[in-house]
Structure 1
Amino acid sequence: MLRRHGWPSFLCLQEVKIAPSDEASQRQLVKAANDSALPDEPLYEAVFSLPRDRFNARGFGGKVHGVATLYRKDLDAFRTRKPEWDLEGRILLHELPCGLVVMNGYWVNGTDHPIGTHLQKKGKPVVLVGDMNVARSRIDGHPNLRTSPHQHVVNRKDFNERFFEDEDGMKGIDLFRHVHGNARKYTWHSTSHAHGSVCDRVDYVIVSRLLTESHAITDTDICDNAADKLHSDHVPIWLDVNIPKLESSLAAPSNHDGS
């Protein structure tokens, strides 16, 4: 898959379900990424945030939640942070030399976005990517948008307000909708039905307005096909950023206020 998609700089994975003590599985993930690489092709390393909450991450031998980012070893140095409060292994923050911050996350319903909002206010271009567990609107569910139980409706309203609408919130851009309008593609597919029969768009790339205003985003899309889904119930989503163009935009005189 890495070769087919042009050897991405980062591959952000959610719900890896690896216990913190399971170093063999962590090594196996890196091995799987590199096994088919030819001598002139890039190699990958990985960084993990795995559950360490002794109360909420005890099921299945600790193999719950967890996020991991595979990154190319030939990348320029970047900084990775794990929020101290994230005991369930849900977020990794990667800050590139140009200032771009990529947040790989598994967001449960009701999750807030204080880190993303804080970084925006500091003038950082921010990308949130991952599983948000909620479909935004009618066109994001097929054949129907989930409205029962009513908690789905509550979660959807809360999600839209926190990430897109609240004046005190992130005011982010749903990048797939920004680029592709009302196109119908989905990121989660029921494993009990044929591909495309029962599905939702619940994985997102959400970016700060600073990124769209820089015109550095080359493209984004959803790999909505059975071949890319493989053994998962989710398909990949991707984003391409022109880093030199972003750097030029950030260096230009401006009052980058994160709005």
Structure 2
Amino acid sequence: MRLKRLNIGRWLLLALAALWLVPLLWVAVTAFRPRQIALSPSFSLDFTLDNFATVWAAAPFAQYYANTLLIVAGVYAVQMATATMAAFAFARVEFRGKQLVFLLFLVQIMVPPDVLIFPNYSVLKELSLLDTKLGIMMPYFASAFGIFLLRQMFKTIPAELDEAATVEGYSKWNILWKIYFPLARPSYIAFGLVSVSYHWNNFLWPLIVTNSVENRPLTVGLAIFAQSFEIGAQWTEVSAATLLVITPLMVAFILFQKQFMNSFIHSGIK
């Protein structure tokens, strides 16, 4: 009976996965089809790369890629440093009110980022950082989720390593970066995938604070491209542009999915 239930659950998951793949497959097929037969219900073996050439020439996607890579890498680099230090403090450093402060950090996970758009915009305006890459990145330099994930991972590391390192004359700073940081590599990969995917797909905040091509990320560039007068409802070009935007993220997840799952298992997150 239990085996039967497992088989039913497995087939249900496969059906849901197949359903999820339908829009992706439609976009992929449409991106490679000639415009004249793109929406034709009949199947043909006519495929072309002209749609991608048209998209690349019609909009500055190279600039959008460069902007997005800089934003994603910059945010993750700062998040990794701030989350590492905060997580180590919550996991191994004793100070008054630690549990209360940690709860305040966890509350931030439940606050939608969109709620903070107006105050963040006001702060950036006062700092003259509107329409800048730094302005896009600044509200995300600290991550409550990253702190929580790394704290859970750090707590699984035996405290005896701290004692041995202290005997050897290591400071807490050296213990953090020479012991905890290397041992928590799977969690950094998992957090990196979460952070990169979120900021790669982030749309509303960059749309509000950017006005120039020099600072727009891929998501905003794709939206403007899809709504432009020249493109209109030409689904082949729009599908090709969409595929250009999402492919790097899909490849990264496929390459690191094993580390992604293992990190959550080792961190004790169910």
TM-score category of the 2 structures, normalised to the smaller one: under 0.3
Select the structure that is richer in helix.
2
TM-score (norm 2): 0.23
Select the structure that is richer in strand.
1
More relative contact order, 1 or 2 (CA 8 Å, 6+ apart): 2
TM-score (norm 1): 0.23
